[in-house]
Amino acid sequence: MTHITPLGKLILVKEIKSDETQTVGGLVIPVTANEDNLKKAIVLKVGVGERSGFNGELYPVDTVKEGMIVYYSPNHATEVKDNRTGEIFYFVNSGMLFGYEDTDAQE
C-alpha cells in the first residue's frame, strides 16, 4: 500500500497491466493495439468528496470503492510516483471514469 492520499473527488489507482485483452465475444486484442485506449486499474484509495459552494455540504465519492476494478482514459490521469516504494500510481477524477467491472454479475 502507499502513503499517498487523494483529495476531493480524486481516486488513486494502480494500473493492471496485461499482455492482451479478451473481449466478451472472445476476440483477443494485443496490448500494442490498445495503447491509447482505456486502461484498467484497481482503486487503492478514494478521496472524501467535494463541498458544495452553496451550502458547504460534503458530497462524498459514493460510486467508487477501494478494491474496485475501473476503466479510465490515460488522457484523464496524472501519474504519481511513490518515493518510498518507487511504484507508479495514477490520480483520476472519479467523474472521469468510464466504467467498472461488476464482480457480482452472473455469466
Question: Quick one: pLDDT at residue 28?
Answer: 59
Contact call for residues 13 and 72 (beta carbons, < 8 A):
yes
Residue 67: partners with Cβ closer than 8 Å, 6 or more residues away: 42, 43
User: What is the grid cell recorded at 77?
Assistant: 490521469
Whether 4 and 86 have beta carbons less than 8 Å apart is answered as: no
Amino acid 2: pLDDT: 84
The whole model's pTM is what?
0.77
Angle at 96 between CA 90 and CA 100, to 5 degrees: 80
Q: Which of 82, 59, 101 is nearest to 12 (CA)?
A: 82
Asked if pLDDT for residue 18 goes beyond 80, the answer is no
Return the pLDDT at 54. Answer: 87
